[in-house]
Chain A
Amino acid sequence: MLRRSNRYAWLVFAALLLLCACAKKEWQTYRANTARTADQSHATALSDPDKVPHLAVGWTWQPSAGEAANFRASPIVFDYTVFIGNANGYFYAINGNTGSQLWRFPVASTPLVGSCGFGAYGIQSSASRADVGGQDAVIFGAPDPSIAPGLGSARLYALNAATGALIWKSDVVAQVTGCTGCAGVCSPAALSQLHERIAYSGPLVHDGVVYVGVHDSGDDPIQNGKIIAVELSTGHVLPGFSFLATTTRGGGVWNAPATDGHGVFFTTGNTRTWNGGSQGPPAINHGLSVVRIHPKTGTVDWTFQPVPYDLDDDPDWSAGAAVLHSDDDECGKLIVSVQKDGWTYALDAGTGQCKWQYPPTDEPSCTFPSGGVHDHGDTDYKQPGAIWGHVVIMKVGGWGLTTPGGFDSGYSRLHALNACAGDHHRVRWILDVPDTAPGDGYAIGAPTVTGGIVYVTTNTGHLIAVADTKLRPPAGHRCTDEFINPTSSGPGWKAVCNAHGFKVVPSPTVLADVALPDGSVAANLRNEPALAYGKVYVGTSAGHVYALWPH
Chain B
Amino acid sequence: MPGVGNPQGSWWRSRTLLLLLILLVIAVIAWITWRVSNPKAFVDREPPASEPEVEVQFAGSQPKNPFHLEEGNVLSRTVFSTPGPTNSQIEVRDFKFPPHVRTRLGALPGPGVLEVYSGKGAVSQGGKTEELAGGIAKSVPAGKALEFENRGDYSLVVRVYLVEGK
Contact = CB atoms under 8 A, between A and B. Distances in A.
Indicate whether A and B interact.
yes
Interface of A: 4-5, 8, 11-12, 15-16, 19-20, 22-25, 40-44, 47, 328, 359-362, 369, 371-374, 388-391, 399-400, 402-406, 409, 412-413, 418, 421, 423, 425, 428, 430, 432, 450-452, 468-471, 474-479, 481-490, 493-496, 499-507
A223 B133 CA distance: 37
Nearest to A40: B41
Contact of B159 (A42, A404, A428): A404
Given A362-B152, A432-B61, A470 B44 contact: yes
A483 B61 CA distance: 9
Given A404-B79, A488-B68, A373 B117 contact: yes
A487 B41 CA distance: 40
A500 to B, nearest CB: 5
Most buried by B among A391, A404, A494, A504: A404
B166 interface: no
Interface of B: 12, 15-16, 19-20, 22-23, 26-27, 30-31, 34, 37-49, 51-52, 56-63, 65-69, 73, 75, 79, 94, 96, 98-99, 115-120, 134-135, 152-155, 157, 159
B75 A488 contact: yes
A403 B94 contact: yes
B60 A489 contact: no
Nearest to A418: B48
Contacts of B62: 485, 487
Contact of A499 (B15, B57, B73, B157): B73
B75 A484 contact: yes
A483 B30 contact: no
A403 B115 CA distance: 12
A452 B135 contact: no
Most buried by A among B15, B42, B61, B115: B42
Contact of B155 (A40, A369, A402): A402
B41 A374 contact: no
B73 A500 contact: yes
B49 A404 contact: no
Nearest to B27: A15
21 contacts: A12-B27, A15-B27, A15-B30, A371-B135, A402-B119, A403-B94, A404-B157, A404-B159, A470-B42, A476-B60, A477-B52, A477-B56, A483-B63, A488-B69, A489-B67, A494-B51, A495-B73, A496-B69, A496-B75, A500-B75, A504-B56
Contact of B69 (A405, A452, A489, A505): A489
Contacts of B99: 500-501
A445 B45 CA distance: 26
Contact of B41 (A369, A450, A469, A486): A450
Given A403-B117, A405-B65, A469-B49, A432 B60 contact: yes
A241 B99 CA distance: 51
Contact of A489 (B12, B31, B57, B75): B75
Contact of A23 (B37, B58, B59): B37
A451 B42 contact: yes
B57 A477 contact: yes
A405 B117 CA distance: 11
A493 B58 contact: yes
A506 B49 contact: yes
Contact of A405 (B19, B34, B79, B135): B79
